Amino acid sequence: MNLNRKIRVLVVDDSAVVRQAITQVLSQDPEIEVVGSACDPYVARDKILELNPDVLTLDIEMPRMDGLTFLRILQKHRPMPVVVVSSVTSAGSRAALEALEAGAVDVIAKPGSAWSIDQLHEQLLVRVKGAAFARVPAPGNEAKKSSSPAGTLDPRLLHSRQLIVFGASTGGTEALKNVLTQLPPGLPGICIVQHIPPVFSRAFAERLNDLCAFEVREARQNDVVRAGLALVAPGDYHMTVVWKNDHYEAVLNQNPALHHTRPAVDVLFNSAAACAGAKIVAVLLTGMGSDGASGMQKLKAAGAVTFAQNEATCVVYGMPRAAVELGVVDQVLPLDKIPLALLRAVQSGTASTQNTTTTALHSTVVKS
């Protein structure tokens, strides 16, 4: 992406009202130029060839050809960053997740559903700008995925205060899926913050639950964070963890957005550092901006083991880069190396013990 010119966007939606709303929002930003719009994929195809946009906003439900089919064709023949604009119905949420699997870099709810116009303004700008800097793999050049689980886990090695926390944004739904599906059952409790709109987060958790060797679901207020359970922060809610008697609990709130988003990774990481930093394993994955970096700094200071995804496998190397630049990452790893590293950190017992052996690896890039 050429930083010296505006981000060129093509808006694709069968609704003239939605096309106008998206165009108006994006056109208010001096860094963005809406170069055109299209009412269906056939018109979009011609305009992509004519206008050469940097980013596409794409509706899923359209006449003549649905957006998901068009996306698959597009990413095969002319890969480019796509932000899906989808309804928040159950069907729309499932289709949006399929779109992310098919190569879309982000998803946002349609105007008038989960987001108000004001919220749409901020979210749309953030996601389109993030998409403009996304790394979209060429066909046949996708990031490597492990074909077998990272290993097994002896539950006798676990400590009751161990906890695993993840943070991710642009490109994170697929990155999280690739990591979590390679982890064995019986792990300490897992808490996940993925920047994602309401309702989509529930569909995302349900999809992970179908694929993982342990239970995954959207977090509810005061959920017990137990071994063998992964909780996904609901869209539009921050998630924190607190220690009560002999277990962690997930606490949700709608405090102001942080880093233009709710949930925010820093909110989760900060709370984990305050609870039991030396028993935490923290992982920061692909995403635009710096959310999670300052929280990881607090975790590192408290004795946590910290991992970040490397640049080569990130869709957007923003959040991990920010943490690396703070000097608070023990290991910078390709995506396919993270499951085994995480498992080894957990098996070592307390994170504070692990840190005595990982200090030398501070900010080391482990190559594939």
Positions marked catalytic: 169, 195, 291
Where do the H-state alpha helices sit in the chain?
Answer: 16-27, 41-51, 67-77, 90-101, 117-132, 172-180, 200-211, 265-276, 293-301, 319-325, 338-347, 351-358
Q: Which amino acid does the sequence have at 253?
A: N
Which of 284, 329, 326, 332 has its CA nearest to residue 304?
A: 329
Count of Cβ atoms closer than 10 Å to residue 212 Cβ: 18
Do the strands 106-109 and 163-168 form a parallel or antiparallel pair, or are they unpaired? Answer: unpaired
Q: For the chain, how many helices (H) and strands (E)?
A: 12, 16
Overall size of the chain counted in residues: 368
Angstrom distances, CA of residue 5 to CA of 33, 170, 342:
9, 22, 41
The SS3 assignment for 232 reads strand
DSSP letter, residue 296:
H
Q: Count of CB atoms within 10 A of residue 20's CB?
A: 14
